[in-house]
Structure 1
Amino acid sequence: MDALDRLAEPGLDLLVRVDTLLAAGVPEGHRIWPLLRRMQVLPGDAVREFLDLHPAPLATAGHAVRRLVRRYDDACATLAAPVAWSGPAASAYDEARAALLRHLDEGPESLVGRLESTAGYADALADWVAGSRLALARALAEVLRSAEAVTVLAAAPRGGETGSAGVLAAAEIAVRVLGVLGVAYDGAETLLRHWSPGLAESTWRERTGGGSHQDASLRIG
């Protein structure tokens, strides 16, 4: 359990009230509107969805992918072992073996290269989730002890309408919460742009050199 988990219950209780007050109508021109249009979600719902994001499963996925890399290393070691034969057939085998080794583990476009990029992306996402959860927890801690929170908690419908002070206080809280989440989502998009080239499919690269081998003789030893 991290700081965000500990603040989830009081934070959501406040944000449910904030969402209700926002629905009463925020004045046009308030700085909450660009955030609402961009995020397309009220702060209570946004935080509730973010609570389901945890870094541990992503970090575990990164470790699992790296274990696969070790298996590829073993396969490459087997392929690279010298063989005691010669002749055209052996040369053809060497060409095929070299092409397979290149596909398995030569450069960022190889299978191992893609696995390492995938593991790195998982690690980066885990760090992003951990950092974003901490930033959101700090934002919730600030708004929970703010004067706006007192105003929101004290706000009550009167004659079917909610006081403007409560609506404005709710909007200020929403700006702080959605602002932090907006920065977090920007960070996620930056990560995807950075890592996406290394996450593309690894395609087979044709072997180079070598022609047809008319002489099919094979010499062992």
Structure 2
Amino acid sequence: MDALDRLAEPSLDLLARVDALLAAGAPEGHRLWPLLRRMQVLPGAAVREFLELHPAPLADAGHAVRQLVRGYDDAGAVLADPVAWSGPAASAYDEARAALLRHLDEGPESLVGRLESTAGYADALADWVEGSRLALARALADVLRSAEALTVHVASRASGDTGPAAALAAAEIATRVLGVLGVAYDGAETLLRQWARSLAESTWRERTTDVLAANSTLRIG
């Protein structure tokens, strides 16, 4: 359990009140409006969804992907073993074997290269989740002890018209929360752009010489 988990219950309670006040409309011209148009979600719902993101599963996924590299290493070791044969067919096989070795594990576009990139991307996402959760926890801690939070609590318990002060307080809290989440989502999009090329499909990069006719000479030993 991290700081965000510990703040979840009081934060969701406050943000549910904020969402209810904002359902009647945010103050005209408030800086919250561009965030609402961009995020298309109220702060309570946004935080509730973000609480489901945890870094551990992503870090575990990166570790699991790296474990797959061992299988490719074993396959590469088998292909690299010398064979005691010669002749045109053997030469064609050697060319195919060398091409397959390069495709398996030579450079970032190889299968192993793509696995390592996938694992690295998972690690980067885990770091992003951890950092974003911490930033959101700090923002929530600030709003929970703010004067705006007190205003929202009082207004949500009052009957009838809550007045412009409550709407303004709710808008201020929502702005702080959605602003932090907006920065977090920008970070996720930046990661995707940075890693997109490294995560592309690994394609066969060369064609080998066709195997010679079946009656070609093949010498073994």
Q: TM-score normalized by structure 1?
A: 0.95
Query: Equivalent pairs: percent with the same residue?
Result: 82
Partner in structure 1 of residue 54 of structure 2: 54
CA distance in 2: counterparts of 1:61 and 1:211, whole angstroms: 40
Whether contact under 8 Å (1:55, 1:129) holds in the other structure is yes
Q: Does the CA-based 8 Å contact 1:24-1:162 persist in structure 2?
A: no
Q: Secondary structure at the match of 1:82?
A: coil
Residues 62 and 118 in structure 2, CA contact (< 8 A), matched pair in contact too: yes
1:19 touches 1:44 (CA, 8 Å); kept in 2? yes
The answer to whether the 8 A contact 2:27-2:171 is kept is: no
Partner of 2:136: 136
Distance 1:37 1:150 in 2: 27
> Can you list the C-alpha shifts for 1:32-78, whole angstroms capped at 9, x where unaligned?
00000000000000000000000000000000000001110111111
Deviation at 1:158, TM superposition (A): 6.3
Question: Residues of 2 paired with 1:144 and 1:113: CA distance?
Answer: 46
Q: Deviations over 1:110-154 (max 9, x none)?
A: 111111111000000000000000000000000000111111111
**Aligned equivalents of 1:211, 1:114: Cα separation in 2:** 27
SS of 2:52 mapped into structure 1: coil
Q: What are the within-5 Å matches in structure 2 for residues 176-215 of structure 1? A: 176-208=176-208, 210=209, 213=212
Q: Does 1:108 align with 2:108?
A: yes
Query: Does structure 2 retain, via aligned residues, the 8 Å contact 1:111–1:202?
Result: yes
Distance 2:126 2:182 in 1: 18
Structure 2 runs not aligned, ≥5 long: none
Shift of 1:213: 3.3
After superposition, the Cα gap between the structure-2 partners of 1:202 and 1:44, relative to the gap in structure 1 and judged at 3 Å, is same
Tell me whether 74-83 or 157-166 shows the greater mean CA deviation: 157-166
SS at match of 1:155: helix
Aligned equivalent of 1:43: 43
- The alignment status of 1:82 with 2:82, answered yes or no, reads yes
User: 1:218 corresponds to which residue?
Assistant: 218
Query: Is contact 2:89-2:211 (8 Å) kept?
Result: no
C-alpha separation between the residues in 1 aligned to 2:211 and 2:60? 48
TM-score, length basis structure 2: 0.95
CA, structure 1 residues 63+153, in 2 after alignment: closer, same or farther (shift >3 Å)? same
Equivalent residues of 2:93, 2:211 under 8 A apart: no
Equivalences, count:
220
Query: Structure 1 unaligned runs (5+)?
Result: none
- Give the secondary structure class of the aligned counterpart of 1:201: coil
For residue 162 of structure 2, give the secondary structure of its aligned residue in structure 1.
coil
CA distance in 2 between partners of 1:212 and 1:123 (Å): 43
